[in-house]
Structure 1
């Protein structure tokens, strides 16, 4: 939405607009579809703020930087945006990338409202500078584990790639399922092919396979291999990180992509604000908006509220996280200190386990809520 202004334009922009830096994955290897939805929500929020008169009479400006799922690129973008004079940072989808951005924002004293990343420890030490809208991973993945247990699944296999995010997910599942009679076996995707995953599922007598891997690959190939294996017709395939949320999943897999439960952060029914925003996002995206788009919109709603009350002073914004009371698209947003979470946290947005309906691939079924 915005490109860096010329050096002479920087000072002019600082005088004539209030600037928010936006971090989004818009190119590979980032999850581009998620980035597009996040950006759509951010842009809609900014557009509505400006149509209503801006921030104390000044237009709100979004300065967008593509992180491409690269932590070092995100950290460099935070440095650049701080120099450009943004009042705060918004966005980011990938947890490992958001972690790098949060660490840099904390070091620079730049408020960062993280929209979508879920790692519990976005910063190594508790910080006053960072807040988050998405639920902490320990919260949402425990809800997912409850769903597995309620559906009768206690022998769980996870196809996992190497990353802090996936490793955290495995740990959460083990810690939660173990005392409740469940077990988790990890299938290391650095050494296994999709066909070998199928063999391991048979050997381990797993009743559920969770995809803790990148999308589209190897997630798509694993699903196709499991769906095509006559030995595994009864196994549940799950994707707690939300890969099936976006239209590309259905396009890539067709019917094979149905009945793959994933986490989604929406209420069962949207209120009046949510319905209005849903309609606007659908028109903007020319597709059904994901929960990530709503997270983007809610991010701007919170930051605009803070900018109206505190101005563009970074320290004042950060000091005001605990005083936020904003009506978002998915409920009233407040931030608090939550045990085990290093940032100011909305505790909690609504959490659902949903899947795509085998009868109609573009329709979602709510299977569980927490």
Structure 2
């Protein structure tokens, strides 16, 4: 870190900014370190090369270079000011003015800079006071900030859910409600990313209730209503009882009416990955009888997915805990063995395998290999008798 700062001219030219400063002041874990610099991007690359520090021009057109120091990637971005914005992206010009750079950021608590050598914090818009009282406040006029980047609507609520204390900033809340339709102009990937970050927080339910009440999600996710918020609140309480970590896809399923078809439609709308889609749909397909055979459920859909469904269905904490600790056994039978017992290759083998496996599951996975083979032999004899 010190070598990187030295290469970039120390605090006179380069300072820590944003989340790293905010979270350090809060005593929270810092996940990403961002640096702001007065140096032009090409000079950043040249200085890092001279210092033998790996540099990747990840977003050099917008002034960002990723420096890898001691195996840790850090984004180094030249001070900027917005020239033009359309709510999704900005055209920027580089500057050497710290105030100009701070003025284009979203919230006061995210526009804090720290001088590396002294730790002195530069605060241009009252971010320190807002951070102390847990107030997420837009820099300047909230409507202007939202017009520059519509995603700031969702970010306002995510930061409030994470850091807010008491009621949200009224001017910001009103601006977000007034401009909620602007979310329709965003890519669904950006909406999904921000929504899932919100749902991954320890208890996002009060903030989601506020969002639903103000109609924030209606333009992009009209399926989420007051009943869904109640489902989320119940789920968060159950997760705490069982000491299960937050899972945003499980929580999204709680917000939606049950049903795999609807969940699949929403997953497609949000451009979720195949893996995420499968988990969301599986959770949405929950049934009242899931609690009757929880290990059989876990065998069919997977342990994590079974936990999702049991929690969503109000399953007993002891049952959920048993599923979490369970390890899926291997079904001790192959199609080749059925053929060796006399079945001809084809659909009959698949049907018999499924019947034997179903009986094995319903029996609690009991019986060794020989017992399962004996069960299979009985099914084969029955199948051959039916054919005769």
Q: Give yes or no for TM over 0.5.
A: no
Give the structure-2-normalised TM-score: 0.23
More helix by share: 2
TM-score (norm 1): 0.23
Of the two, which has the highest radius of gyration? 2
- Greater RCO structure (CA 8 Å; 6+ sep): 1
